[in-house]
Amino acid sequence: MAVCRGCGADKPHEEMVELTLAQDGSRGLCKLCQGAYNRAWRKKHAQHLLELGRGYRQSVLSTTKDLNLGTNGHGRRRHAAVR
């Protein structure tokens, strides 16, 4: 058994996160608290993650642009002809 430093509950080792157990001996985080911690971390770094995601999407778009260009160009040309 190990005491969770998050909720203070005595939990069996299989319910503890091994990473946090290794860091400071017997007191670690249980999987529930680790999940809550992860959610809080993500919320705190949401803006940063959003920017990371945006950068990723932009790099994906630039690589798939050539594939989309065929249909987009065709549609635009057709529209211009109607005008």
Residues in contact with Zn ion by the rule CB under 5 A: 4, 6-7, 30, 33
Q: Give 8 or 73: the residue with its C-beta nearer to Zn ion.
A: 8
Min dist. Cβ of residue 32 to Zn ion (A): 5
Q: Give 31 or 45: the residue with its C-beta nearer to Zn ion.
A: 31
- What backbone phi and psi angles, to 5 degrees, belong to 14? -70, -15
Cβ(55)–Cβ(38) below 8 Å? no
Report how far residue 1's alpha carbon sits from residue 78's, in angstroms, rounded to the nearest whole number. Answer: 70
Residues 6+ apart with CB under 8 A from 17: 28, 29, 30, 31, 34
Min dist. Cβ of residue 25 to Zn ion (A): 16
Q: Give 7 or 49: the residue with its C-beta nearer to Zn ion.
A: 7
Min dist. Cβ of residue 51 to Zn ion (A): 31
